[in-house]
Amino acid sequence: MTIIVTGAAGFIGFHVARALLARGEQVTGIDNLNSYYDPRLKQDRLAELATQDGFHFEQLDFADSAALEAGLAGIDFDRIVHLGAQPGVRYSMENPGAYISANITGHFNLLELARDRKARHFVYASSSSVYGGNTSLPFRVGDPVDHPVSLYAATKRADELISETYAHLYRLPATGLRFFTVYGPWGRPEMAVWIFTQKILDGEPIELFNHGRMRRDFTFIDDIVEGILAALDRPPADDGKAKAGGSVAPHRLYNLGNSRSEDLMRLVSLIEQASGRKAELRPAPIPPGDMVETFADIGAARDELGFSPRTSIETGIPLFIRWYQDYRARRAG
């Protein structure tokens, strides 16, 4: 039976689709290939997926319900991994409408699709940004998340609430995954790991927001994919018992992070070591909507999904830089 993966040309969606194909699943990928970042990177990811048996791709905007229904009309599927979204905290200050369209309307359309097709599991991407200005660390799935500091975070929290409603009203099994700063090969060009690497290699200055006094729970892509597949393979039971996140409907929430909060300067140092270049640093104030620190409590995901991230940034950063240098050389050639 086919699995739908939205955002299949995106960073995490590409890796999840590839892992599902590698274990023999049939995958239909959905993506609108928008220009939030260079669409050529998205096309290159799709070209990699096209080399594997069992992959089918539909270019469409899932915020368009008619296009979504038409694109999937002849496809028999029983699970949805909804990873497509409009990402980015800072861009939500410039183009808020894109977040309402993709992250609210699009999420609703996928839930309606899952309800109509009686999907046996709806797995979706949330974000560590839902914790907003929380100062109690590490972040736990039971922590209050009612004060987002960006529109992006607000849309992700809204997705969780809408999914809870669908699980309650229609008994749709759903699992929301709060990702913590995912990085690795085939990553996103507007993320810190990519930006810092590019600027260090090109001899350009790096802006250090909050004057470098920031910490992130950097999580390697391979660990995230293992967590997503573990969640997909374990739909929540409709048994009236409290789940991770507090729901008694068939709906769970998990943190997927490395469970280590790393200083931003440690990231810079590791990129310098792996690239053999020295960074030029330019301190800057923290942008509106950014969080000073993230740190995941992964106890529930560890206990219930067997989630156990193995990749430290000491290992993961050099892996990313080797991929980045090779990819840039191939593109230049």
b/e per residue 267-288 (b: at least 16 CB within 10 A):
bbebbeebbeeebeeeeeeeee
Tell the residue number behind the tokens 């990313």, with chain if given: 320
CB atoms within 10 A of CB 22: 10
The phi, psi pair for 246, rounded to 5°, reads: 100, -10
Residue 287's Cβ-side half-sphere holds a number of Cα atoms within 13 Å equal to 12
Token pair, residue 23, equals 């274990």
What is the C-alpha separation between 237 and 254, in angstroms, rounded? Answer: 15
Number of alpha carbons in the 13 Å side-chain half-sphere of residue 41? 18
Chain centroid to Cα 47, Å, comes to 21
Radius of gyration, CA atoms only, the chain: 19
> For residue 290, what are the contacts with CB-CB under 8 A and spacing of at least 6?
89, 90, 149, 150, 209, 210, 214
State the greatest distance between any 2 C-alpha atoms of the chain, in Å, as a whole number.
Answer: 58
- Which of 242, 125, 237 shows the shortest CA–CA distance to 176? 125
Q: Is 183 a catalytic site residue?
A: no
- Alpha-carbon gap, residue 195 to 58, rounded angstroms: 30
Residues 6+ apart with CB under 8 A from 269: none
Choice among 36, 124, 131, 152 that is catalytic: 152
**Torsion sign, CA atoms 316, 194, 178, 19:** negative
Residue 173: φ, ψ to 5°: -65, 125
Active site residue ranges? 152
